Structure 1
Amino acid sequence: MAHLQAVRSTLQPQHNSYTQLTTYFDPHSKIAWGYMHAEPRPCFTPTLLRELLAWGQGLVATIDEAGPQEVKYFVVASKIADTFSLGGDLSLFMQYIMARDRDALYRYAISCVDCSYAVHSHLDRPNLTSIALVQGQALGGGFESALAANVLVAERGAKMGLPEILFNLFPGMGAMTFLGRRVGHHTAERIIRSGKLYLAEELYEMGVVDVLAEPGEGESAVSDYVRREEKSRNGILALRAAREVSQPAPYEELVRITEIWVDAALRLDSKDLRMMERLVSRQTAKAETPPASNTFSA
């Protein structure tokens, strides 16, 4: 815990107009931290998606103005206790599906893809590394967004999964692309078809999670990872660039899969929507959970 306190002492709160995202900057390690706290549910609301993209644009502007050494890492994490993200806004999904509003559903889905692709492509800045820190549950689109990061750090006991098959759908905003590139597409499809939750420990053994942290020590594990990477940063970034050539994840691929997802979502029947409604109730219940005590405070 002493190390975590040292990490906190170096952080600078970033004053901005975000309402569902709190950001910090560590000038010593050059790490930008973004903590999600969506309302009314801990999922990817349209507001949170806009703020995540705006944060990314701000980091790009800083890098382009001050140089690539100004910001070297950015971390996506959560300020909600025991929850990284419960994924897509299922209440909004239901609203669009029942209204048969394909355009609205497609626009929302693309905004999710835009966020995930920005994380995966490290904001199109070769010297920047994206990190996802999962503390608690990461479900559906929450798991997809964590998979998009260059480095996935998770605390022991965290649970991640893709439950979409339970309401007769599939995860359409990056799971096949990002999970397939981590463990192979056959294994990725098996995970998707199962609909089950996996512990971080299991996913670490499978090669999905890159760094396994002790409970409550996620931030320290991120800082430790950064210190290790700094020792071989040139080689690690070059290796990543080579992997992106040999295993590309083009934006067009994500968009095409999302189009398949949108059409499949519009084919859901009343039984499927009832199952989705039960999951919305669980998302709402999570919204009543107080903020986590192990996150940074302003």
Structure 2
Amino acid sequence: MTAFYSNNSLPFETPDYQQLLSCYDAERTALWCYLNPSPRPSFNLALLTEIGDLQNRVATYMNSGNITEPIHYFVFASATRGVFNLGGDVDLFIQLINTADRDALYDYARLCIDEVYANATGFGVPDLTTISLIQGSALGGGFECALSCNHVIAEEDSQMGFPEILFNLFPGMGALSLLSRKIGLSQAERLVQDGKMHSARALCEMGVIDELAADGEGTQAVNQFIRQHQRASNGRLAIRQASQRIAPVTHEELMDIVEFWVDAALRLTSRDLRMMSRIVAAQNRLEANEAVPAARQRPEQANVLELVRA
């Protein structure tokens, strides 16, 4: 697996990313991007910066007119066993809220929005399709990241949810915008307010997840989707363009909602911040379990919200 993760295999130059692992599949014209954050599987500033850099390099390359190997599919996956991503950098949020640093909170959220918007719009490349592969837990901002892609695939044992309501906040980096276009605003509001983990199967039945894969077969499901998409890519890309015209996700809308999120974050009480600290502690416990065999590890990871409530 280590040989598979190779930033050097891309058809354009990149810096030496520390929290991303990537490879290029020439047969399927797909670039795989594996999230590999440290010290916790969440969106820290370093990871966000690297994702944004890679997205920009793909867009620049594909729009350059000097393409040696095309990139028609960009796949987000995770290098952390049993976890797609556990969301925002809650530890950083606590620090910034305690110091009432609105500007820094806003700047963090803007980085998230820039990347969510890029995913939703194919990086501004007309014939590029973004795909997310969820294997394990996806919480909060991690779930938002996955939902921002054009096609969402989840393995059957994966679980997803929005824990923000547990500490009196809401997922402000695209959840309502993305979900409302898939399942309607009313159902989207219920999902972001219930504070529960949901199975991939249940979310697929709701229309949140586009495709369910058998456990351990997510990569094969992505490859199969790409094969099917390639057979009718002209029609499928045109349908996506039409859908985005009918119900566009705009950068302006996403940033307007970020303003609500920042204001709400700065209103949190000391009790709310203590609950946020429990989220960080739960994330640390999951990271400490990384060496546990997957068969024993995933049930605990899938129930991360239970660790918080304990």
Q: Which has the higher contact order (CA 8 A, sep 6+)?
A: 1
1:57 paired residue number: 56
Report the AA paired with residue 7 of structure 2.
Q
Identity %: 44
2:198 paired residue number: 198
Q: Retained in 1: the 8 A contact 2:5–2:21?
A: no
Report the AA paired with residue 284 of structure 1.
N
Q: CA deviation at 1:289?
A: 3.7
In the TM superposition, 1:16-27 aligns within 5 A as 16-27=15-26
Report the AA paired with residue 49 of structure 2.
R
Report the AA paired with residue 96 of structure 1.
L
Pair 1:276–1:176, CA change in 2 (3 A): same
Pair 1:175–1:134, CA change in 2 (3 A): same
Matched, 1:14 2:13: no
Q: CA deviation at 1:69?
A: 7.1
2:131 paired residue number: 131
Q: Retained in 2: the 8 A contact 1:79–1:292?
A: no
2:32 paired residue number: 33
Q: Retained in 2: the 8 A contact 1:68–1:128?
A: no
Q: Retained in 2: the 8 A contact 1:81–1:293?
A: no
Using the alignment, how far apart are the partners of 2:236 and 2:119 within structure 1?
17
Question: Aligned pair count?
Answer: 287
Q: Provide structure 1 residue ranges, at least 5 long, that are not aligned to the other structure.
A: none
Query: Secondary structure, in 3 states, of the residue corresponding to 1:248?
Result: coil
Cα-to-partner distance string for 1:97-134 (whole Å, 9 max, x where unaligned): 00111111111111111111111111011100000110
Report the AA paired with residue 290 of structure 1.
E
- Structure 1 vs Structure 2 CA RMSD: 1.9
1:114 paired residue number: 114
1:149 paired residue number: 149
Q: Retained in 1: the 8 A contact 2:26–2:69?
A: no
Cα-to-partner distance string for 1:205-226 (whole Å, 9 max, x where unaligned): 0111111111111111000000
Q: Provide structure 2 residue ranges, at least 5 long, that are not aligned to the other structure.
A: 9-14, 295-310
Query: Secondary structure, in 3 states, of the residue corresponding to 1:287?
Result: helix
Pair 1:152–1:62, CA change in 2 (3 A): same
Give structure 1 regions of 4+ aligned residues with deviation exceeding 6 angstroms.
291-294
Q: Given the two structures, how large is their TM-score scaled by the length of structure 2? A: 0.89
Pair 1:242–1:68, CA change in 2 (3 A): farther
